[in-house]
Structure 1
Amino acid sequence: MRGFMTDLAPSSSLDIRTEISAAYTAWDSAFNQADAKAVAAAYVPSAKVLPPTHEVISGPAAIENFFAGLFSRGFTDYNLTIIDTGGDDKVVYSTAHWSAKGKGADGAPQTAAGLATHIFERQADSSLKLRLHTFN
């Protein structure tokens, strides 16, 4: 699943921003294809997802199930837009605006949006995987 991973060396904040932008593009693509398994592959095995429901979602199976639930409710057209990035050769972070389209409880189309924080861990091959993902 190389799509979520980048091979750029962490030499500057511009490079980190480029890495995160590539990771976001791949994540958005997997989400918009309703591919819960591919979305879950973007996270380290012990990752946490903290949605606005106050749940703590941990591990690949739970993360995959969480996103599969969103897809079953018709969420698509996901987009992440970077606000800020930073980090070092081991841990990289980003804050972002997010938006998606879905259906409300009544089945009517709705747009959802908010802010997200992402903490990435650099893997042995220099790629990035998510350790923490929280959003409102």
Structure 2
Amino acid sequence: MTPLRIATLAVCIALLMPITVQAESLEEDVSAAYGKWDAAFNETDAKSLATFYTEDTLFLPASHDIIKGPSGVEEFFGGLFDNGVTGHKLELIEAISEGDLVVSTAKWSAEGKDDAGAPTTFGGIATHVFEKQDDGSLRLKMHTFN
């Protein structure tokens, strides 16, 4: 390999490194936010869970309801907790960032009871739009799942 090719390769690698570091950091940030959200869910504290959402949040659950704002989110999750749903887990699929917004997808699972009252695991796919806050934290601006 000629010195010019080596230099060109080194420049290309150097240019790509910040992108890789940024992607890893983004994935770490979203995974950390998911971990905190899961912890609040699994404490079955709907009020605490609602603090993860922006004031203008749009929450679109599998029930096809259109829920706006943290108070609506709190009411929705309070109903789930009253029905014994717990053991929630989000697993990041992918995250991308554009300005102050982060869009991510995840696999989700939770424990509950089926129609006959037997223990069961529910699961599906979720899409999240986070808004970066001034303190660097992520809050949900939009959340939908199936």
Q: TM-score of the superposition, structure 1-length normalised?
A: 0.89
Q: CA RMSD of the aligned region, Å?
A: 1.1
Bigger radius of gyration: 2
After TM superposition, give the deviation of residue 48 of structure 1 in Å: 1.1
Q: TM-score of the superposition, structure 2-length normalised?
A: 0.83
Q: How many pairs align?
A: 126
User: Match for 2:74: what amino acid?
Assistant: E
2:117: which partner in 1? 107
2:135: which partner in 1? 125
After TM superposition, give the deviation of residue 13 of structure 1 in Å: 1.3
Report which of the two has the higher share of helix: 2
Instruction: Encode CA deviations 1:54-109: one digit per residue, 9 max, x unaligned.
Output: 10111111100100000011101100000001103400111000000011233221
Q: Which runs of 5+ in 2 are unaligned?
A: 1-20
Q: In the aligned structure 2, how far is the partner of 1:102 from the partner of 1:78? A: 10
Residue of structure 2 aligned with 1:60, choices 65, 70, 81: 70
Q: In the aligned structure 1, how far is the partner of 2:105 from the partner of 2:137? A: 19
Higher RCO, 1 or 2 (CA under 8 Å, sep at least 6)? Answer: 1
